[in-house]
A and B are shown apart, each in its own frame.
Chain A
Amino acid sequence: MSLKLFRRSLWVYHLNSGGCNGCDIEVLNIFTPYHDVERLGIKLVASPRHADVIVFTGPITRETLPKAIRAFFAVPEPKAVVAVGSCACGGGIWYDSYAVIGGIEAFYRILEKYYKVRLPPTVYVPGCPPKPEAIIYGVAVLRGVLKQKQRKTYFLEKEVPTLTRDFIVNLEKYMKQGGEISIGKR
């Protein structure tokens, strides 16, 4: 899913959707001279109507949900979403709280159910808070400049020794003979 939606500079609208302010500071950090993303054309704008990208930082609390929906619809198409921080990605430590919607995915479920909208491309930036470089990397992945490194990994244990009375009593002897029995090597 490479993004060729945006040919020119990305204008970013930053929305704190109930976060603790940690991610907000990191988002503002990438506009300082040290990381200076304005050299890449990324600019922070004050109104969602000017923006291409909307940045969510926070687990979308019940109080911010209507505001988040209004801001989301105010961004003109084509748009993209950056979910910064663990809270926005999956709810963080408040994922099952009564006062919290639970991350951008739960937010999308609400949008799909009640508004029936086409969901924009989204980049998830985990971290609590993520490094400023991690946010820059996320935007680079969104633009298709850099490749995504993170992949789902799946492991299934293939062979296990059959547990018999003799085997478990003389475990040390068998381990010397067989050698490779993986039981949590220290």
Chain B
Amino acid sequence: MTASILFLLAGFFYLVAGLGLVRLPDSLARLHAGTKASSLATTLALAAALLHHRDPWSVTLALASILFVFLTAPLASHAIGRTILASRLPANPRAAPNAPKNPHPNPPRPAA
């Protein structure tokens, strides 16, 4: 029962991550919503698995996965954030109207 509730919470936070990826206005905000909410949701799902399967191998796997997610998710989101900043485009063009002209313009993809 506790495992089911934890897994339902995980599904809710995955939904929060997906909605943030669709609804938020610029890439850094999407990075914020997507990576943090989904790593929390993955941790909740793995905690549900840890409470549901009681054998030592499953507990070891779930703990190792939680540790791996907490080690690597910040590194991956940091790398993506550095890439966004290095593209020298203000993440939201309306946020910095007086910014200097971009030497490497990164035009938005035309609507297909």
User: Do A and B associate with each other?
Assistant: no
